[in-house]
Structure 1
Amino acid sequence: MNNVLTDLGANPGALHIIVQSDEVRVLLTGEIDAGLAGEFTAAIETIRRESLPVTLDTRHVTFMDSFGVAFVSQIAMAGPGPTRVIHAPPTVKFLLEVTNTSELVEVVE
């Protein structure tokens, strides 16, 4: 039996946390929405525990809703220093700007 997500061409989201010596890097891919709630909670806990600057790599994000934007805001408030968003696709940039989340993070080209 085929997986419905595969058949529909859906791109489920994923979150990967990479703890480095000088930062916590969060790689977001696919659809960033409430389906990642458990992963978001784990990421926030890691960021607080590590107490390092955070970089969000969003180059592979295909969709983000208000839950994803709230996650970016929570990361910005959880980290000890500036939070950077790198490789943001146009839709992510737009959402960060229209919600004023871009005032909480540094969007880097």
Structure 2
Amino acid sequence: MSILFSAGRTRLVLSGAIDATVGEEMTSAVAECTASALPVDVDARTVTFLDSSGAAHLARLARTLPVRVIQPPDAMRFVLSVTALDSTVEILDDAPDYPVR
């Protein structure tokens, strides 16, 4: 998990399993993204698993800021669908350019 900042957006890069085992790290990442007060792109291209705790972190983030999820794998799309997060976040099939500051 890493966070990149630019002048207009924050990119939260997730990889592997996003579940309760990374809860503290996700809590910190969500807080850092929220503090930036910029729209957030969640790069989900290498996520292998998302459980309800990971979805809850994304929901918290999306309640505060505009969130786009970049190329979520099918398993993650399913979780976003059943939790109705797919109606709250924008799902991107292509990764947008990202100028790092």
Both proteins in one fold, TM over 0.5: yes
2:5 paired with 1:19:
yes
- Tell me the SS of whatever aligns to 2:54: helix
- Tell me the SS of whatever aligns to 1:59: strand
Identity of aligned residues (%): 37
2:76 paired with 1:92:
yes
Give the partner amino acid of 1:91: A
Distance 1:55 1:69 in 2: 15
- Tell me the SS of whatever aligns to 1:22: coil
Structure-1 residue corresponding to 2:40: 54
Q: Which has the higher contact order (CA 8 A, sep 6+)?
A: 2
Distance 1:22 1:65 in 2: 29
- Structure 1 unaligned residues grouped into runs of 5+: 1-14
Work out which of the residue numbers 23, 27, 33 in structure 2 matches 1:37: 23
Moved over 2 A (4+): none
What value does the CA root-mean-square deviation take over the aligned residues?
A: 1.0
Distance 2:56 2:34 in 1: 17
Q: Does the Cα contact within 8 Å between 1:26 and 1:55 map onto a contact in 2? A: yes
Q: Over alpha carbons, which structure has the higher Rg?
A: 1
- Structure 2 unaligned residues grouped into runs of 5+: 94-101
- Tell me the SS of whatever aligns to 1:44: helix
